[in-house]
């Protein structure tokens, strides 16, 4: 009977059972004496001997082959690993007997004992066999003597760990993780054998020595994904602004707070309306002052507009704005005629465009671009509407003539030119506006942005110039843009190609144009910097996408506020940010402290030496 028990123990060493070794006998010089294995009771030895007759490679219901792991002591962990302490899963009847003093002394004397005489033989006889579905089958050699590792830092019931235990655990975990996905260890803790019996008794094999089916155990813990049904009833009524540590408000307090909020919002709207009226009154006063200055314009500036550059008082008068009735003549003189175009140039170009349209030679794609561009041109004025606008046909004819005039240079239509042509049509007749527009677009900066792919290097040079000016004048905005990787190419073309008519209010644009035609390209960049100065409090978004939306005039929060206040949204895109003529001009005038024309000329010479 003792030999049968010893043979049974040697078979079960790698299958989760912890034998008791007599260390004195293990290291004795005497030959022929069998090692003594101590167990809790004779009933356990008998049960192990009876249950071991069942095949280790019993297939499960799912068709997978289970490793020869003895589960008479619960070693199954819901995390997919083998529990380190096997003694916790033993039933009270199967608890080990108390240790003798000799055993305790022997364990105190050894922190790690390796009985490795048969270990090499065990490794040579043990192989991994891979089945067709990738499961690993471990074949244990009967009679192989394992390596035993004893860690005195652990509890007495879990100090002994055999090498075959470690190898089996490793193979078992690898097979388990490659075939089945179990819940993470952070969400499910290991449970005892009794709990597994209660919850998953249907998954247990008939014999206690057979392991649990991995597939069946893992499938029982798979949860169906819950479908989101939106916020719950509680979430709909819970306040999202009240601190959670405060008690819920009573009905009376809630009504009182709601009344206070409505009063606050009413006062805010009243203050905003008052500010808007004051701004409008100041604008009317400024326009009245400009109208009163017409005699000075007619007497001193109209005969020779170059006198403005000699007298600072006249220059300040020009910067205040040109009277509406004199704007056409002043713009024409300030732009000049460097292309030496005749007065009949518009008639000639339009006749060519008309013949091309009649013969079908005029590109249909260009016609489509022109019509789309006109639809977005100054929609608040309603004078360029395709059906009801009185200047729609004049604008379309002017754009077709401009396309023909550029065809000789191999250049096509550029979206945004419709805004510039519309501004000239508002202030002068088509033939005069066409000539002024062509000469204005011949200036180097505008020609670069309208020059297509051939002028790409020049456009990049202007981007570098603007970046340098931004870093010198507004370093916070510059570093914020660099942090979010936003270059001038992301917003500057949208401003310069239509000359700010897409983003600024019409009155502010008219005044910017007055000074732009007088000062040249340098004021174009100065106005762009002033726009960023007005937007500066809004430019420090943590998200790059939100920052780009703001620069495009599409910030959702500002649009919602404008809709709530019933403000029109068909004007300049930056009106929702509070950008108007007065605030913009305050920023432009404040730049006198650091803006230098010499800096502009130096940057032009550095970046565009051939200019």
Share of the chain above pLDDT 70, in %: 63
Least confident span in 95-104, 269-278, 301-310 = 95-104
Question: φ, ψ for residue 21 (rounded to 5)?
Answer: -105, 145
pLDDT at 50: 72
Evaluate whether 87 touches 18 at the Cβ level (below 8 Å).
yes
Helix and strand numbers, DSSP H then E, in the chain:
28, 6
Query: Over 60: is that where the pLDDT of 572 sits?
Result: yes
Query: What CA–CA distance (Å, rounded) separates 148 from 167?
Result: 12
pLDDT at 71: 42
> Residue 424: which pLDDT band, with cuts at 50, 70 and 90?
very high
Query: What CA–CA distance (Å, rounded) separates 87 from 18?
Result: 9
Share of the chain above pLDDT 90, in %: 50
- What does the domain layout of the chain look like in residue ranges? 2-220, 334-442, 454-607
Q: Ranked by mean pLDDT, which of 99-103, 150-154, 581-585 comes out on top?
A: 581-585
Q: Which stretches of 343-383 are DSSP H helices?
A: 345-359, 364-375
pLDDT at 61: 42
Query: What CA–CA distance (Å, rounded) separates 503 from 550?
Result: 11
Query: Higher confidence at residue 242 or residue 127?
Result: 242
Q: Coil, strand, or helix at residue 526?
A: helix
Q: Tell whether pTM > 0.75.
A: no
The chain-wide mean pLDDT, for the chain, equals: 75
Evaluate whether 163 touches 148 at the Cβ level (below 8 Å).
yes
H or E stretch including 448?
Answer: helix 444-449
Two structure tokens written together for 537: 């409090």
CATH number listed for the domain at residues 454-607: 1.10.472.80
Class assignment of domain 334-442? Answer: mainly alpha
Question: φ, ψ for residue 37 (rounded to 5)?
Answer: -110, 125
**Long-range Cβ contact pairs of 391-399 (< 8 A, separation 24 or more):** 391/422, 391/425, 391/426, 394/425, 394/430, 395/421, 395/422, 395/425, 396/370, 396/371, 397/350, 397/353, 397/430, 398/346, 398/350, 398/425, 398/430, 398/433, 398/434, 398/437, 399/370, 399/373, 399/374
- 446-462: pLDDT as tens digits: 999 999 899 999 999 99
How are beta strands 136-138 and 128-130 bridged, if at all? antiparallel
Query: Higher confidence at residue 251 or residue 238?
Result: 251
pLDDT at 228: 57
């Amino acid at each position: 009977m003792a030999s049968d028990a010893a043979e049974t123990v040697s078979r079960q060493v790698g299958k989760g059972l912890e034998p008791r070794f007599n260390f004195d006998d293990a290291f004795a010089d005497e030959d022929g004496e069998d090692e003594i294995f101590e167990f809790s009771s004779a009933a356990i030895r008998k049960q192990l001997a009876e249950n071991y007759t069942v095949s280790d490679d019993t297939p499960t219901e799912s068709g997978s082959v289970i490793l020869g792991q003895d589960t008479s002591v619960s070693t199954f962990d819901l995390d997919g690993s083998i529990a380190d302490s096997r003694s916790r899963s033993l039933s009270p009847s199967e608890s080990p007997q108390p240790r003798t003093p000799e055993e305790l002394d022997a364990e105190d004397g050894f922190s790690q004992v390796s009985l490795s005489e048969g270990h090499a033989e065990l490794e040579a006889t043990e192989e991994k066999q891979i089945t067709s579905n990738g499961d690993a089958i471990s074949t244990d050699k009967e009679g192989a003597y394992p390596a035993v590792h004893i860690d005195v830092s652990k509890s007495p019931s879990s100090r002994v760990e055999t090498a075959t235990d470690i190898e089996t655990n490793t193979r078992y975990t690898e097979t388990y993780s490659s075939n089945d996905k179990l819940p993470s260890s952070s969400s499910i803790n290991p449970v005892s054998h009794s709990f597994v019996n209660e919850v998953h008794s249907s998954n247990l094999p008939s014999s206690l020595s057979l392991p649990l089916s991995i597939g069946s155990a893992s499938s029982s813990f798979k949860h169906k994904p819950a479908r989101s049904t939106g916020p719950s009833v509680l979430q709909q009524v819970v306040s999202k602004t009240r601190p959670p540590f405060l008690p819920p408000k009573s009905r009376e307090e809630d009504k009182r707070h709601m009344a206070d909020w409505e009063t606050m919002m009413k006062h805010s709207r009243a203050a905003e309306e008052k500010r808007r009226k004051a701004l409008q009154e100041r604008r009317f006063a400024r326009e009245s002052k400009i109208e009163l200055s017409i005699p000075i314009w007619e007497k001193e500036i109209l005969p020779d507009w170059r006198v403005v550059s000699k007298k600072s008082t006249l220059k300040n008068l020009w910067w205040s704005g040109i009277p509406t009735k004199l704007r056409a003549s002043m713009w024409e003189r300030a732009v000049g005629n460097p292309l030496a175009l005749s007065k009949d140039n518009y008639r000639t170009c339009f006749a060519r465009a008309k013949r091309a349209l009649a013969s079908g030679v005029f590109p249909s794609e260009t016609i489509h671009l022109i019509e789309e561009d006109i639809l977005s041109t100054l929609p608040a004025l309603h004078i360029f509407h395709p059906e009801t606008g009185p200047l729609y046909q004049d604008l379309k004819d002017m754009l077709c003539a401009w396309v023909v005039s550029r065809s000789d240079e191999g250049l096509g239509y550029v979206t945004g030119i419709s805004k510039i042509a519309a501004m000239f049509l508002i202030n002068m007749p088509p033939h005069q506006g066409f000539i002024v527009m062509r000469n204005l677009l011949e200036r180097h900066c505008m020609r670069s942005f309208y020059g297509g792919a051939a002028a790409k290097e020049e456009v990049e040079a202007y981007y570098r110039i603007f970046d340098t000016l931004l870093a010198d004048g507004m370093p916070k905005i510059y570093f914020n843009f660099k942090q979010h990787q936003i270059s001038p190419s992301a917003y500057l073309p949208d401003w310069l190609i239509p000359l700010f008519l897409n983003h600024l209010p019409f009155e502010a644009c008219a005044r910017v144009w007055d000074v732009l035609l007088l000062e040249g390209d340098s004021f174009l960049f100065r106005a762009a910097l002033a726009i960023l100065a007005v937007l500066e409090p809004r430019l420090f978004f943590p998200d790059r996408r939100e920052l780009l939306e703001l620069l495009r005039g599409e910030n959702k929060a500002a649009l919602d506020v404008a809709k709530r206040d019933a403000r029109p949204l068909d004007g300049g895109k930056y009106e929702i940010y509070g950008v108007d003529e007065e605030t913009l001009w305050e920023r432009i005038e404040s730049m006198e402290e650091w803006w230098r024309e010499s800096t502009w000329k130096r940057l032009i010479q550095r970046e565009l030496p051939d200019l």
